[in-house]
Each structure stands twice: as C-alpha cells, then as structure tokens.
Amino acid sequence: MNVKKITPLYFLITVLSATFLFACSKEPKRIPDTMPDVHGYITNIKRAATNDEAVKAEVAVKALDGVEAQFKDANIKIDEHTLIEDETGKMLTLKNLREGHEVQVWFDGEVMESDPVQAYAKAVRIKY
C-alpha cells in the first residue's frame, strides 16, 4: 500500500472520532460550586408577555439577613439558558418559581451596579 494514501485516511478517521467523542460527552448544566451572587426571597416575578422574548422573566430577590452572598438585593433576568433546580438537583422551570420562595442565584456575564444590581441569571436554586 502507498503510505501517502493511508496517512490522510488515518487523519480523517482520527478527526471524525475525536469530533464524535466530544459531541457525545457534552457536560450537562450544573449549579456553580461557588458562593451565590444573591441569596434571598423572591419578592416579585414579572413574566414576559410573549414566548418570543429573549428574557422569559424578571425576578426581584431581597437578601436574607445574616446570609453571606456577593450582593444584597438583585433584579435578575431569566432566559432560556438559565438553569433552575431544587436542592436535590431536580431540574425545574420558570413555572416553578413563586413569590416567597427562598433562592440562591448565580449571575452570568456583566452586572449592572445599580441598587439593586441587575444581571442575567446563570443558575437559580430553589430552597423549599
């Protein structure tokens, strides 16, 4: 056999195999293992009027006294990329959020330094 013909074939097989392995091993979304950016109670939920909106809801969170978190209060935006789960790791949806729920929230991207801060939520953990 000609070595020049075999080398490109092995290269192609290697690239396709690596691509397949990386595509199949995509990590599931997980709650970050860092301190939450805000930890408190939901005081208000304003859901988007249509399903076409990038932001599905805006949620106001009031911090708990005596609980350590990055920010005191926050207005968070929840979109289709936000992970929502309970303390056991069960996946939840926006429909599960209620005013009065205790939540831990991790931010994604830039934080608007207003009072309260505003940011997109990367992950929300509901504590029942």
Q: What angle do CA 31, 37, 42 make, to 5 degrees?
A: 90
Q: Is residue 56 part of a domain?
A: yes
| Structural domain harbouring 58 | 38-127
- CB-based contacts of 92, cutoff 8 Å, min separation 6: 84, 85, 86, 126
Residue type, 105: V
Q: Is residue 42 part of a domain?
A: yes
Q: Averaged over 74-82, what is the pLDDT? A: 95
Q: Is residue 32 part of a domain?
A: no
- pTM for the full model? 0.75
CA distance 123 to 79: 10
Instruction: Please state the separation of Cα 21 from the chain's center in Å.
Output: 24
Confidence of residue 55 (pLDDT cuts 50, 70, 90): confident
15-45 pLDDT tens trace: 676 666 655 555 566 888 899 999 999 999 9
CA distance 28 to 24: 11
Q: Is residue 101 part of a domain?
A: yes
- Residue 54 or 126, more confident: 126
Q: Is residue 2 part of a domain?
A: no
- Residue 121 or 18, more confident: 121
59 torsion bin: left (phi>0), alpha (psi -120 to 50), beta (else):
beta
For the domain that residue 103 is a member of, what is the CATH number?
Answer: 2.40.50
pLDDT recorded at residue 85: 96
User: In the chain, how many domains are there?
Assistant: 1
Q: Is residue 23 part of a domain?
A: no
Count of positions (residues) in the chain: 128
Q: How far apart are the first and last CA of the chain?
A: 67
- CB-based contacts of 89, cutoff 8 Å, min separation 6: 31
Q: Is residue 21 part of a domain?
A: no
3-13 pLDDT tens trace: 555 677 777 77
pLDDT recorded at residue 43: 98
Q: Is residue 45 part of a domain?
A: yes
C-alpha to C-alpha distances, 51 to 10, 60, 80, 124, nearest whole angstrom: 47, 20, 10, 20
